[in-house]
Chains A and B, each alone.
Chain A
Amino acid sequence: MKRLHQYQEEAEATLNSLEGLQSVGTDSFFYTRLRARMESTPPNFWVRAAYFLSRPAVSLSILFLLLLLNGFLIFGDGPESEEGQQHDYVTQQISYFDNLNNP
């Protein structure tokens, strides 16, 4: 029990160890380095686009949309093409009987 209390005190002391933390500054010539970096890497559309597309949320969303579109094309077209096939079959039958009647 005494030990547990000791651990809790240690944890509390560590939790308070950031009291009186001093603010720190950047090294000298930060602005010069920043300007140099901005001039050496002009914004490139394709690099940005590639970076954007490589984000997991974006790439997974695109993949999901493609799968959705794929599924829609496969299953969504089913009844329509069946209808088309029926229509073709009826047309064939009519032309068959037409041929029989008018040899």
Chain B
Amino acid sequence: MTGLSGKIGLQADEAELIDRLRRGDESAFRQVVESRKDLVYNTVLGLLQHPEDAEDVAQDVFIKMYESIHQFKGESAFSTWLYRIAVTKALEWIRSRKRKKRFAFITGLLGDNNELRHDPPDFHHPGVQLDDKERASRLFKSIAKLPDNQRVAFTLHKVEGIPYQEIAAIMELSVSAIESLIHRAKNNLRKDLEDYYKKNG
């Protein structure tokens, strides 16, 4: 098995688990959290590039899942739905950080310098091979500059290793749209990295 189904281990009794979740069964909730917490954390970490905030957002994802399980109609796989919540929550957090950054810039102009508080340090993904640490950190910086859609598609594919078809289901887009997003993301990243090496070469 590959992709989401393989990673999560889609079980035959998933429908029963969801039914128990709907009835507010705590053991079902615990089961879902324990079996999917690393997957959700990894996804959110790749998008946020901030370990502490990734844990908070991962918690938000499970709280949202718990509150809106009645809205899950089973039109997509449960894991796809969970990924969708994770991506939405991560993007909300990224937008809120951008707003804070803009606010910090304004307060900076007024004399109250908050820039350090809002400028995150270099991100070193704990799963990157030691030899590639510096390069990966540089790449994550470039990924952070991508438009939201390209950022999500590229991260889900490169960091999570999810195939195009499943990314299309998560982002509710066609497979060709995902191919185009990832192609554009790669071109933008290449350009940004080349500019970086020209300046610092």
Contact = CB atoms under 8 A, between A and B. Distances in A.
Does A associate with B in a complex?
A: yes
Interface of A: 3, 6-8, 10-15, 17-27, 30-31, 33-34, 37-38, 43
Contacts of A23: 38, 42, 127
Contacts of A7: 194, 197-198, 201
Interface in B123-157: 125-129, 132, 135-136, 138-139
B55 interface: yes
Is chain A's binding surface mostly helix, strand, loop or mixed? Answer: helix
Contact of A30 (B37, B45, B128, B198): B37
A27 B55 CA distance: 9
B193 A25 contact: no
B41 A25 contact: yes
Interface of B: 30, 33-34, 37-38, 41-42, 45, 55, 58-59, 62-63, 66-67, 125-129, 132, 135-136, 138-139, 158-159, 186, 189-190, 193-194, 196-198, 201
Given A21-B127, A22-B127, A23-B42, A14 B33 contact: no
26 contacts: A3-B201, A6-B201, A7-B201, A10-B193, A10-B194, A11-B189, A11-B190, A12-B190, A13-B135, A14-B135, A15-B186, A18-B125, A18-B136, A18-B158, A20-B129, A21-B125, A21-B136, A21-B158, A24-B41, A24-B42, A24-B126, A26-B38, A26-B55, A26-B58, A30-B55, A43-B67
Contacts of A10: 193-194, 197, 201
A18 B55 contact: no
B59 A34 contact: yes
B37 A14 contact: no
